[in-house]
Amino acid sequence: MTEYPHLFQPLDLGHVTLPNRVLMGSMHTGLEELGDFDRVAAFYAARAKGGAALIVTGGMAPNREGGVLPGAAGLFTDKDIENHRKTTKAVHEAGGRIAMQILHAGRYAYSPECVAPSPVKSPISPFPPAELDEEGIEKQIADIAEAAAKAREAGYDGVEVMGSEGYFLNQFLVTHTNKRTDRWGGSYENRMRLPIEVVKRVREKVGEDFIVIYRLSMIDLVPNGSTWDEVVTLAKEIEKAGASILNTGIGWHEARIPTIATSVPRRAFTWVTKKLMGEVSIPVITSNRINMPEVAESVLSEGCADMVSMARPFLADPDFVAKAKMGKSNTIAPCIACNQACLDHTFEMKVATCLVNPQAAHETELVYTPTETPKTVAIVGAGPAGLSTALVAAERGHSVTLYDAASDIGGQLNMAKQIPGKEEFFGLVDWYRTMLQEHKVDVRLNTHATPETLAEADEVIIATGVTPRDPQIPVEGNPQVVSYTDILQGRVEAGDRVAIVGAGGIGFDVAEFLAQDKPSPTMDLQEWKEEWGVDDPDVSRGGLAEGGPKPEPSPREITLLQRKSERPGKRLGKTTGWIHRASLMMKGVKMVGGVTYDLVDDQGLHVTGSDGALIIECDTVVLCAGQEPRRDLADELEATGRKVHVIGGADVAAELDAKRAINQGARLAAEL
Ligand code: FAD
Ligand code: NAP
Ligand code: SF4
């Protein structure tokens, strides 16, 4: 008997029955553009082997003008079809099924060739789109239908037509982007003509025994978005046009409301999909921030959908479904929704991977082979670098002892998890704890390692992390000047007026921590919806609440400072930096750049900015001025001629994050 009876119920689609209710949602990995199709096949086959009932590929362009970028991947030539056959074959051999997503970006295409219903430039692309004429529209429909036919030829089990997130088909639906006066614009009947025509023509091309998923925007989260009536009308028409399944899209890419970041509550939007249940007779899939089997099970058991889509969780752990089925959910590597190695990489034009699982999309290159020469491995530091090394080394058959001076594993992750909106880090530390047990790592906590402790080990790994940098600002009188560690480890309570020195990731996080004295909105969906101004699309068009966001005011007056004159927060994550900035600005946190720090005294922090000298009157100054490597142990060992491996913050502290620490640890352990 499974713990998750709804999750493991088969789903009958007529010509085919899916073994469970889990869809692996579409993600762009960038592998196709590399042209290494063995690697693409290995990536998808691992997820099929891990039990996903149906996989959807990253978006494939139906034509040049519809690609997200010039040169975007698609099925254009016979060679492309042959390449994609490698993937479909590998997935089928692994016992899975796979559908190809057809993504026409419309005005979101980062290309001067982009096309759209009307020449309305998007706020997230520099290129104004060309307005399509009747012939141009017919070409787009034909190209999308042809892409579906080629997908079938390449061995796919279906296609997903991307109709949400503000892409091409979505752009026809709302008056903000569709200003046409012909049969493709004006009334809603006209505006929805294109998506319906596309689904009809796709169905005609592929025949009845082929899965056609339509991804429909259920809540646009942009001004003048669709009403709920329009969403339901479209859903019914798309069913009539021949779709087999409706998938949920949440928010346009230009929306100023976070939809998948870690600060978004788990399953934050399943209530929207639930509203569609009963309106159509084909299966409905829900999505966004579903990252654990128990979350998926509750979504299904509450009747919010027939199936759940999870995307990033399959980067973190390809065996998600198999582990849930075996009753070993606590061994599933959790997706913490950080976007750091997946979506941020995509926006930086790098191949996507996963912070938690560096093997993701690197399956053929980072391989953990069992060792033929087991060694004793001593690792000092149970932060992410040391933890990652320990798990991979133990998995490969080495005998691993992990030391940490602290009373718990996790290193700095234990500070990260205190930040409102970063609660997923609790699960990550718990997962490491479970996996250390599973791999029988000998964990020695409350143990300050010295050269003597490590004398007998064959391999010594130093992952001792960092020490906070003291920026050496002169202090006079008796002001409260503390480090971020004092605040986040609970040793010091900040006063009512706070100046934060340093506006990097930690400065922003400390501001978030000090600006919130009530429970985190991430843990309370209603609070979160009010904070960001999300409403029922039945009440407010597009789901944007009248009156906008209503955040809880900060209990403190906070000023966040940096020396650089650039916009504070500019270097935060590509896809999440704007959320941190918006969240703090909504709470009235002041951000000041281009200063030099002169003095702290009982009046506050004295700085010189572009307008001259300034006093930030405050009760507490919190130093978040970066870190230095903690190398004392490594230096001591190396001085005696001992060869050691130094990783994580102990190696290089600048621009260190958990992604680099985990990746470096895993790659070292793969070679030991
Ligand atoms: P650490 O995590 O510092 O671990 C080092 C460990 O070594 C510690 O547990 C320490 O007790 C132990 N140690 C040191 N000396 C000895 C000794 N002699 N004997 C035994 N034990 C010893 N990164 C991200 O990627 N994403 C985020 O969202 C993010 N948010 C953050 C938020 C905050 C508030 C903070 C503080 C950090 C955040 N980071 C984030 C950064 C991330 O936590 C660090 O980059 C990462 O923890 C560094 O890993 P590490 O293993 O090198 O060192
Ligand atoms: P950081 O991002 O390097 O920022 C350090 C800040 O201190 C900068 O604002 C810097 O700006 C300032 N600074 C540096 N030297 C200084 C000095 N001598 N005097 C005064 N100010 C100084 O480092 P961090 O904020 O400590 O974060 C550490 C790492 O954790 C980062 O690499 C980050 O990636 C990671 N992290 C990530 C997240 C995330 O959400 N992904 C969150 C938290 C932390 P100026 O030089 O302009 O003053
Ligand atoms: Fe999830 Fe972060 Fe991994 Fe992306 S990088 S899959 S968000 S844990």
The full 3-state SS of 55-113, as one line of letters, equals EEEEEEECCCCCCCCCCCCECCCHHHHHHHHHHHHHHHHCCCCEEEEECCCHHHCCCCC
At 2 the pLDDT is 86
465 lines ligand 1 (CB under 6 A): yes
pLDDT per position as a tens digit, 48-82: 999 999 999 999 999 999 999 998 999 999 999 99
624 lines ligand 2 (CB under 6 A): yes
Nearest atom in ligand 3 to the alpha carbon of residue 343 is 4
Q: Rounded to 5, what percent of the chain is helix, strand, coil?
A: 35, 20, 50
501 lines ligand 2 (CB under 6 A): yes
Query: Span 194-218, mean pLDDT?
Result: 98
Query: Can you read off the two tokens belonging to residue 326?
Result: 């075996």
Query: Can you read off the two tokens belonging to residue 87?
Result: 């993937």
At 67 the pLDDT is 96
Confidence of residue 656 (pLDDT cuts 50, 70, 90): very high
State the catalytic residue, choosing from 167, 432, 484, 597: 167
How far is the C-alpha of 168 from the C-alpha of 63, rounded, in Å?
Answer: 12
At 320 the pLDDT is 98
Percentage of the chain beyond pLDDT 90 is 98
648 lines ligand 1 (CB under 6 A): yes
Distance (Å) from CA 479 to ligand 3 centroid? 41
Residue whose token pair is 């597009």: 542
How far is the C-alpha of 586 from the C-alpha of 214, rounded, in Å?
Answer: 36
Ligand nearest to the CA of 510: 1
588: left (phi over 0), alpha (psi -120 to 50) or beta: left
How far is the C-alpha of 245 from the C-alpha of 12, rounded, in Å?
Answer: 11
Residue nearest to atom 3 of ligand 2 (CA): 626
555 lines ligand 2 (CB under 6 A): no
Distance (Å) from CA 519 to ligand 1 centroid? 25
Q: Which range (282-286, 297-301, 428-432, 654-658) has the least confidence? A: 654-658
310 lines ligand 3 (CB under 6 A): no
Q: How far is CA 322 from CA 20, 22, 457, 609, 621, in A?
A: 11, 11, 36, 57, 50
Instruction: Tell me: pLDDT of 140 over 80.
Output: yes
What is the identity of the amino acid at 400?
A: V
614 lines ligand 1 (CB under 6 A): no
At 455 the pLDDT is 92
pLDDT per position as a tens digit, 241-261: 999 999 999 999 999 999 999
| Residue 476 CA from chain centroid, whole number | 45
Surface-to-core class of residue 441, CB atoms within 10 Å of its CB (0-12 exposed, 13-18 middle, 19+ buried): buried
HSE (side-chain half, CA atoms, 13 Å) at 204: 12
Strand partners, 23: 54, 309
How many residues make up the chain in this entry?
Answer: 672
Residue nearest to atom 1 of ligand 2 (CA): 504
**Cβ distance 162 to 104 under 8 Å?**
yes
Domain ranges of the chain: 11-347, 376-467+628-671, 472-516+554-625
Instruction: Tell me: pLDDT of 10 over 80.
Output: yes
At 113 the pLDDT is 94
Confidence of residue 150 (pLDDT cuts 50, 70, 90): very high
488 lines ligand 2 (CB under 6 A): no
Surface-to-core class of residue 455, CB atoms within 10 Å of its CB (0-12 exposed, 13-18 middle, 19+ buried): exposed
**Cβ distance 223 to 500 under 8 Å?**
no
What is the identity of the amino acid at 375?
A: K
Distance (Å) from CA 391 to ligand 1 centroid? 17
Query: Can you read off the two tokens belonging to residue 395?
Result: 């998995």
Nearest atom in ligand 3 to the alpha carbon of residue 341 is 5
At 652 the pLDDT is 95
pTM above 0.95, yes or no: yes
Instruction: Tell me if residue 319 falls in helix, strand or coil.
Output: coil
Which residue, among 23, 368, 51, has the nearest Cα to 211 in the 3D structure?
A: 23
CATH topology of domain 11-347: TIM Barrel (3.20.20)
**Cβ distance 130 to 116 under 8 Å?**
yes
Instruction: Tell me: pLDDT of 173 over 90.
Output: yes
Second CATH level (architecture) for the domain 376-467+628-671: 3-Layer(aba) Sandwich (3.40)
pLDDT per position as a tens digit, 321-340: 999 999 999 999 999 999 99
Nearest atom in ligand 3 to the alpha carbon of residue 312 is 6
At 33 the pLDDT is 87
| Residue 133 CA from chain centroid, whole number | 37
How far is the C-alpha of 140 from the C-alpha of 482, rounded, in Å?
Answer: 60
Q: How many CB atoms lie within 10 A of CB 490?
A: 8
Q: How far is CA 133 from CA 65, 136, 288, 500, in A?
A: 14, 5, 35, 55
Confidence of residue 1 (pLDDT cuts 50, 70, 90): confident
Instruction: Tell me: pLDDT of 518 over 90.
Output: no
At 59 the pLDDT is 97
Instruction: Tell me: pLDDT of 545 over 90.
Output: yes
Percentage of the chain beyond pLDDT 70 is 100
Query: Can you read off the two tokens belonging to residue 247?
Result: 């998938």
Surface-to-core class of residue 245, CB atoms within 10 Å of its CB (0-12 exposed, 13-18 middle, 19+ buried): buried
Second CATH level (architecture) for the domain 472-516+554-625: 3-Layer(bba) Sandwich (3.50)
Query: Span 446-473, mean pLDDT?
Result: 96
pLDDT per position as a tens digit, 340-399: 999 999 999 999 999 999 999 999 999 999 999 999 999 999 999 999 999 999 999 999
386 lines ligand 1 (CB under 6 A): yes
- Ordered DSSP codes for 185-218: SSSHHHHTHHHHHHHHHHHHHH-SSSEEEEEEEE
Instruction: Tell me: pLDDT of 471 over 90.
Output: yes
Distance (Å) from CA 577 to ligand 2 centroid? 14
Confidence of residue 183 (pLDDT cuts 50, 70, 90): very high
Ligand nearest to the CA of 264: 3
Instruction: Tell me if residue 367 falls in helix, strand or coil.
Output: coil
Q: Mutate which of 342, 392, 412 to test ligand 1's pocket (most atoms within 8 Å of Cβ)?
A: 412
Element (H, E) at 580: helix 577-586
Surface-to-core class of residue 135, CB atoms within 10 Å of its CB (0-12 exposed, 13-18 middle, 19+ buried): exposed
How far is the C-alpha of 395 from the C-alpha of 525, rounded, in Å?
Answer: 39
DSSP 456: T
How far is the C-alpha of 668 from the C-alpha of 245, rounded, in Å?
Answer: 44
User: What end-to-end distance do the CA atoms of the chain give, in Å?
Assistant: 41
Distance (Å) from CA 627 to ligand 2 centroid? 8
Helical axes 78-93 vs 37-49, angle rounded to 10° = 30
Active site residue 167: yes
Ligand nearest to the CA of 504: 2
How far is the C-alpha of 274 from the C-alpha of 219, rounded, in Å?
Answer: 12
Distance (Å) from CA 449 to ligand 1 centroid? 16
Instruction: Tell me if residue 180 falls in helix, strand or coil.
Output: coil
Instruction: Tell me: pLDDT of 26 over 80.
Output: yes
- Ordered DSSP codes for 222-281: STT---HHHHHHHHHHHHHHT-SEEEEEES-TT-SS-SSSTTSPTTTTHHHHHHHBTTBS
Mean pLDDT of the chain: 97
Distance (Å) from CA 262 to ligand 2 centroid? 20
Query: Span 472-501, mean pLDDT?
Result: 97
Ligand nearest to the CA of 566: 2
